[in-house]
Chains A and B, each alone.
Chain A
Amino acid sequence: MTLDWSIVWEYREDLLHGVLLTIALTVITMIVAIPGGIILAMMRLSRSRILSTISLCFVELFRNLPLILVVYWAFYVMPIVLGIQIAAFETGLIALCLNVSAYNGETFRAGINSIREGQVNAGLALGMSRWQVMREIVIPQATRRVLPVLASTWVSLFKDTSLVSVIAVGELAHVALQIRSQTFRVMEMLTAMAVIYWLLGYPQAKLVDWIHSKFKVAE
């Protein structure tokens, strides 16, 4: 078997485009899923039973379904249920946001719960409203505590974006697999894909390690 590595160079522009979409999916998902997670956590912890239940159901649904199923569901079912056509990229984005928001919701909930009640009382005693206590005292501290977990979620998300390739979103995995099926250069393309994911993922993982060590003991 002869290997032809030039195929990778030949398709560099397509691959680069795939990489950019992978990064875009990761970044946009996190930009949506961090406030999403905070909202879910606050709903869950709110005194309203309805909000709390909605949040609980949302989180437990999307946290316990395989992401690939959510992706398919968003692609086939959502347009029928909602009666609108959505492009593949946005569909993939929605699926990722649902999944990661659910995870972040749990992360933030744990983070908020880890802040001592005394901190809340100290804010209330100054005359702050519950919302001001949340904004000024609880959320900044909780964010610091959950940063390592969010960082780990980020790295998982970066790799999980490959799952939206199943609905033909032109991110790195989809592009690479397309090239493979057009050129039959299976070995080369799968290796190239692995190398690219690894080269992009490794620095992120290292960054996560650094964040873990830096923020681990926050008090």
Chain B
Amino acid sequence: MTMIAPKESGSTPSPVLIYEKVRKLYGEFVALDEVSLRVDAGEVVCLIGPSGSGKSTLLRCTNALEPISGGTIYFDGRALPSVDRDIRKVRQRMGMVFQNFELFPHKSALDNVAIGPMTVLGMPKTQARERARALLAKVNLADKVDSFPSNLSGGQQQRVAIARALAMEPEVMLFDEPTSALDPETIGEVLNVMKALAEEGMTMIVVTHEMAFARRVADRVAVFEHGTILEHGSPEQIFENPETARTRDFLSHLGWDG
């Protein structure tokens, strides 16, 4: 039986993801405490907040890398499945980018990008590599197709990782602190690729500490603390006129002066 997401009246944009009172427990520890959030098609939603506040956990629950303990996550109108085979189908439609890139060190940049379509979609090698080549060009790495991850800078590796996720032609991209492990001078090149992606209309959820990026690129920002969403709204609202003192506190700790 499939659970169908509740209809929301008077909304024209179609929701890609709806989080409904999502709970996640690690033993006694409450990582997510009844988090509700909605992400519409074409939206960029940035999740900000202190470390350990549940942002990354929410992302990992979104593609079922972690099972949730309560509540429901609807993807494209259906609750996330629990059967392995169905979970795989859902994951194929979501791209994920990790903090530590997690490129496959034994494969060239080209094959890192081609491996998804080849193994998961059964695409022939030449076709998959063609797609990979185009995507690497798109993230400005056309000259690095034959390089191995160990010979690439952090920023280059993360761009390959973005291309790898895009190779599955996902409907939503999940970014888990994509620039946190990068040298400052390579952060910009990754953020630029993400910005271009947002401008193309990709639906994106971005866990980030890059407040300038959230301010400029996000359609909505959600502020996390202790596994709950303190507040969420437009970047203007969150950064210029936060409702809660905790949000103001958090932003000022990051040196954000409005």
Contact = CB atoms under 8 A, between A and B. Distances in A.
A127 to B, nearest CB: 3
A124 B96 CA distance: 10
Question: Dominant SS at the A interface?
Answer: helix
Contacts of B84: 129-130
Contacts of B39: none
Interface string A114-148: 00101101101111111010001100110010000
Contacts of A124: 65, 91
Contacts of A126: 91-92, 115-116, 119-120, 164-165, 168
Interface string B83-120: 01000110110111010101111100000000110011
A132 B85 CA distance: 13
Contact of B104 (A132, A137, A218): A137
A13 interface: no
Contacts of B116: 126-128
Contacts, number: 61
B63 A136 contact: no
B163 to A, nearest CB: 12
Contacts of A119: 102, 104
A137 B102 CA distance: 11
Nearest to B64: A124
B53 to A, nearest CB: 21
A80 to B, nearest CB: 45
A127 B104 contact: no
B96 A125 contact: yes
B88 A121 contact: no
B252 interface: no
A130 B120 CA distance: 12
B98 A122 contact: yes
Contacts of B127: none
B150 interface: yes
A144 B119 contact: no
A10 interface: no
A219 interface: yes
B98 A141 contact: no
B123 to A, nearest CB: 12
13 contacts: A116-B102, A118-B98, A118-B102, A121-B102, A122-B96, A124-B65, A125-B165, A126-B115, A126-B168, A128-B119, A141-B104, A144-B106, A219-B105
